[in-house]
Structure 1
């Protein structure tokens, strides 16, 4: 009877979707493209209640009423249309079913419920006598059921309530919520039953009870009914087509039942059953398993209602799971803060295990811990010795550098772990570096477990029509099995927290490793950093210049005018760069900047511009921004304002307010009457947006009739008191420059650009618009990015790694959690790969082009 070494995949190979028969509570017709009957069930005449029925090879329209045929053709056409839409959208959805309720097929007033679906080249039409007037009766009834579900946030309570409501809806003797485990086995986690029945709650079922091909069908066809296990299956005529193939009934409601499963249900004493899939995130999470101990055929409309209830429940369940994940993510962030607070002072991590245990043990229970960092090993509690741990290191190193390894029976995964199973069986291995591999490991002792199975999980080998197979179990009394060599399993919630721990410890390791480097290594790295910094600055300058050229292209009406326009802006940047590099990239004089810009425009005319107020020194990162703003203001004044004739004057006042911010006042007078511009050019954008965007300051421009006025605020962190200098005399009249506006492109996707240089950001924005992206969100800081991500989810992100005094790594971690792909943008090149473990798709080096962005979009769409 029982034998050893048999193949458990025999059940998986049973052709349960091609059994050649159906259940007798309905009839089936398979039609070819010409609506000629290719197959039919043998009970068609009995279901239609008339002797003359469509024969194989006959036309369906000769037997069904014209109105009914019209409905069938419309439903079939809708199937094909929906399939076409799915394929045009890049999908491959084929599991579509169209349902009709209360159709008068024969024109005699007898109503039928009908389901249509495609099976290869055949159109499958299934029909059942309609009950209850042939109307779908769920809208009013589902609302109170879903309201009751909405009261629960805990997954266990939610499933228990769903089982109760499904039993009320369907009237089955037993309704269970059956959840699949990772190994394919399942467990009854909720149950509603008649009092006379024994409970199945918390019973486990081996994966062979629902074999792989059955689970695949549950994912394709959400509802499966068995009306009577004692009923004789109705054959399909003919069973095979001319080419020898049997009709594929994967999506059939009436599909007959595997003899093995019939025997299984009979052994349980079940006469009728209904299974409805619970699909979460596109995967089969579990089932509603309904048992009845007498024959029971549910009306098609009620089955449809139950299927809809199951889908709504799955959405509620997904929300509950996501809510639990959010809570764990918050706990992970809190854990990060506590660890970063406590692991300070430069002490090596191997010496900080006690601190680590105290903090992490509150969230992830464990019996011991180990740290292996820079070749040094330390352990606490139930843990392997150094020699035992080193024996596993080669196998651990072969795994992915960013992958957490977890097991409740480590010896089954890594044989060397068998040497210390008396102390630790389970392990949570967290890699905290790339080269050399460093690890922090949390250990759990053996936890002898008792698993309660629904009968013995073994099945008996027998020979059936399909060759050797496993017979279903004949006893379903609870059978307890002791499991040794296992610890308590690591829960998904604990693994989520462990990922936060990995990122935190990675930061700690990098910081501590930095502090312990030898002087020679530090000097070498400093040299590489200086080279990378030079490369970064050169790339930024090139990108900035290219952005200026691109943004200015529509403002010149001739080559000469365009050259003057771009040349003036680049010259302003070059002069500012000269001023700040003259003092080795130190803060430079604001009055000198104004004087240089005015001299370049006005020559020797010194009676036109007056600069009053104390001079200040402006930090390099703000100096180039001010240079562009002052250049555009001088240009506009010379073209339209007070400096465009011989009578106008310009007064510039500088002062530090009581909080240390620099206030710059610009007042024009005596020139021609001022009119507000009719269009907004790139120059106006530089004036009004540069300082707020890049410096978090303020800019206000007013076009008064008597002359242009402007007020600028530069935050105090960018300025410091400067040398005393006499007020600057007025200067001369500038050359005239113009600009025309640029048009955007039509939208298709949403891209987030994080860039602290406004010019580069605007250039990237315009390039993306030109590539057909509809929505481009541009921010310049970590706080701005996080605020956007709290309310919106982009499809792609481009992250400038260096954002002034901060980096975009926190944004990268947030995008990792959201599953949003992103690229780093930097002038440092591949050196960024050493800064941390992220899921970045790649590194985009500055200066980048529209072609580079197009390549990223093409890669995204192709992947």
Structure 2
């Protein structure tokens, strides 16, 4: 790509795999499936007595005759055929031969449907036992147990093999920028250990190529690259991803020149199929290392990659084991404890232990539980509101909350990093972990912001940094990263919580279904038994009345018969009440607007006639209408008001007051009296069937009325409760919810 084509608009997508040029220390010939030459580098005349134009569209044996390899005819074609049959080229590369008395390597590669034939000189260096050197190097490297020692020794060994002035181990961060984490160098060179380089120094497309091509040599930044000539039969540019000689981006060439580097060589380090980093070699003068030496260096890189993976996996395994231990403890607590909140926060293992966090909160069941070091309640209130509005995915994490939620800047010292596990977005339940701020001073190799130079067309062309003096930057408001293992641990916990919640909900639903069925069966049984008891009671009373007419019966016998008749009447009343109670369970609600003022007025009139006492005073306040079943609501108010009158007869005067109040969600009525009152411990038993209070045994009643009231209120999805103290009267409250769209 020409220099004037590289500008601000396309630098990050510069197609460096199709530069249309090669480095000039070797030459390139490209043949198609029929072994016809379709591409050729224009510098071939420097190596052979034929031009690129003369070779284009010639058969491969024409090239072989020009090379003049007399020992074995068709030697290149034979290599191609063997490699194609094996479907790989490594075991056939390189093929060594002499060209005009100079040793060369032929390296075969693929480019789509083409074969790349790259010819490089063999390095004119003193011969060495490369296998012995590599064996010793690997022995030294793999003997290191500590990661930093491993990296340091690798840099030293690679420098010994290649002879470069400086060898660095360069590690990539998640955002693409890199850091020199180890180096071996000449004594007179400045140290670059610990320096950071922006992601734009090695842009994304270059990093992708490093994953595919594990070694990369730039022999001399000061030479002019050689163009690749094409037959023109293929409109697509030649892909040089697998090429050894691929030319270098002019931006990178200038970048190296600005660093004072004339030659570079890199070896890719791969971890879990991703680019972990590079072994980067720099030299102040042109330097060529041949294919075999590069392959040896590649082997060292692969061994180091495996060692990195082994040590990293060992570290991950230790972290995993710790998280798994605490997760198992939590899972056990969840299964054994019906209280989800207590299971997650109140045992030796809590949600704080399944990640490396300094604080955590559980937002569950309309309550916030805090663990460790967290923002205060006011700060959490704002943060949770932001989470509710902005976090949609099941797991969210970042290392700088304040970058997305600015108010978090004020508590970055305790919560710069945040991970959110969404248990339920609908009911706003979350687990949130926090990590504190880690203040870092990052040493950049020069100002990381590249400068731009204006061009005649008004665009800006990137100008690689000229200065690599240390440029310090203080990074604040950022926490340690959330590791892959922490994220997995949080996700596993969420899945277990959801499973347990669903399991408990299913069990509760099944229990409710069984209770409903049992309740219905008991209801039907009660109705049947109560109904069937009425006939025998009627017979008992009839016989008692007949016996009372017997003239020979003494007074004591007559008293006994009178008591039998009274008890039969009382039993009949109780059976009628039970029938009413059962009937409530079977009846459907017919929703209507009920005029409570008229209803209560009629009830009061009947009670005043019944009791006819001058000491009875019944008053009313506001009487808002209710929405429900008129017959059932009549039972509610009849029971409550008659009870208030009945249990306040001993007071002089007996004062009853009824009134209603409307709020946003419901209409609440109160029935107040100044009667006997109820001790606090009896309040929970008031609404049970056949329950009679000790201080009301002498007052007539069946013990069923309040149970009927409770059942009617529940059927209306309302509430009933009491406030009372012994000797201080009682206030009964009933609350009915406002109509819903289902009951207009």
TM-score range, shorter chain: 0.5 to 0.7
Q: Partners in 1 of 2:179 and 2:410 — Cα distance?
A: 33
Q: Could you tell me which of 104, 113, 128 is aligned with 2:97?
A: 104
Contact 1:382 1:445 in 2 (8 A): no
Matched, 1:60 2:63: yes
Contact 2:327 2:354 in 1 (8 A): no
Shift of 1:340: 5.9
Shift of 1:81: 3.6
Deviation string, structure 1 residues 536-578 (Cα, Å, up to 9, x no partner): xxxxxxxxxxxxxxxxxxxxxxxxxxxxxxxxxxxxxxxxxxx
Deviation string, structure 1 residues 431-479 (Cα, Å, up to 9, x no partner): 4569756322222333333222111110112357996432211111221
In structure 2, the partner of 1:486 is 478
Shift of 1:192: 1.6
- Tell me the secondary structure at the aligned position of residue 17 of structure 2: coil
Q: Partners in 1 of 2:326 and 2:447 — Cα distance?
A: 43
Shift of 1:358: 7.7
Q: Partners in 2 of 1:500 and 1:369 — Cα distance?
A: 17
Contact 1:409 1:425 in 2 (8 A): yes
In structure 1, the partner of 2:616 is none
Q: Flag structure 2 segments of 5+ consecutive residues without an equivalent.
A: 1-5, 519-744
- Cα 1:397–1:300 change in 2 (3 A) is closer
Q: Partners in 1 of 2:368 and 2:329 — Cα distance?
A: 24
In structure 2, the partner of 1:524 is 512
- Cα 1:362–1:118 change in 2 (3 A) is closer
- Tell me the secondary structure at the aligned position of residue 183 of structure 1: coil
Shift of 1:484: 3.1
Number of equivalences: 504
In structure 1, the partner of 2:392 is 398
Matched, 1:458 2:481: no
Q: Could you tell me which of 71, 75, 81 is aligned with 2:75?
A: 71
Matched, 1:474 2:466: yes
In structure 2, the partner of 1:288 is 279
Q: Partners in 1 of 2:261 and 2:106 — Cα distance?
A: 27
Q: Partners in 2 of 1:504 and 1:245 — Cα distance?
A: 53
Deviation string, structure 1 residues 128-173 (Cα, Å, up to 9, x no partner): 1224799996433322222222223443332222222211221111
Q: Partners in 1 of 2:161 and 2:376 — Cα distance?
A: 55
Q: Partners in 1 of 2:501 and 2:376 — Cα distance?
A: 26
Shift of 1:525: 6.7
In structure 2, the partner of 1:370 is 361
- Tell me the secondary structure at the aligned position of residue 74 of structure 2: helix
Matched, 1:124 2:88: no
In structure 1, the partner of 2:223 is 231
Shift of 1:415: 6.9
- Cα 1:338–1:242 change in 2 (3 A) is closer
- Cα 1:399–1:493 change in 2 (3 A) is closer
RMSD: 3.9
Matched, 1:322 2:313: yes
Deviation string, structure 1 residues 57-94 (Cα, Å, up to 9, x no partner): 433243233656633223323443455x9xxxxxxxxx
Matched, 1:194 2:186: yes
Shift of 1:371: 0.8
- Cα 1:219–1:341 change in 2 (3 A) is closer
Q: Partners in 2 of 1:135 and 1:113 — Cα distance?
A: 16
- Cα 1:172–1:69 change in 2 (3 A) is farther
Q: Flag structure 1 segments of 5+ consecutive residues without an equivalent.
A: 1-5, 86-95, 531-863
Contact 1:99 1:113 in 2 (8 A): no
Contact 2:330 2:343 in 1 (8 A): no
Alignment of 1:459-608 (within 5 A): 459-462=450-453, 468-499=460-491, 502=494, 510=501, 514=504, 521=509, 523-524=511-512
Q: Partners in 1 of 2:384 and 2:92 — Cα distance?
A: 63
Contact 1:113 1:134 in 2 (8 A): no
Alignment of 1:123-272 (within 5 A): 123-131=115-123, 138-237=130-229, 241=232, 245-272=236-263
In structure 1, the partner of 2:41 is 41
Q: Partners in 2 of 1:520 and 1:119 — Cα distance?
A: 64
Q: Partners in 1 of 2:92 and 2:376 — Cα distance?
A: 62
Alignment of 1:432-443 (within 5 A): 432=423, 436=427, 438-443=429-434
- Cα 1:289–1:144 change in 2 (3 A) is same
TM-score by length of 1: 0.52
Shift of 1:219: 1.6
In structure 2, the partner of 1:13 is 13
Q: Partners in 1 of 2:456 and 2:77 — Cα distance?
A: 39
Q: Partners in 2 of 1:232 and 1:376 — Cα distance?
A: 71
Shift of 1:274: 0.3
Matched, 1:298 2:298: no
In structure 1, the partner of 2:579 is none
Q: Partners in 1 of 2:251 and 2:213 — Cα distance?
A: 20
- Tell me the secondary structure at the aligned position of residue 391 of structure 1: helix
Q: Partners in 2 of 1:430 and 1:478 — Cα distance?
A: 40
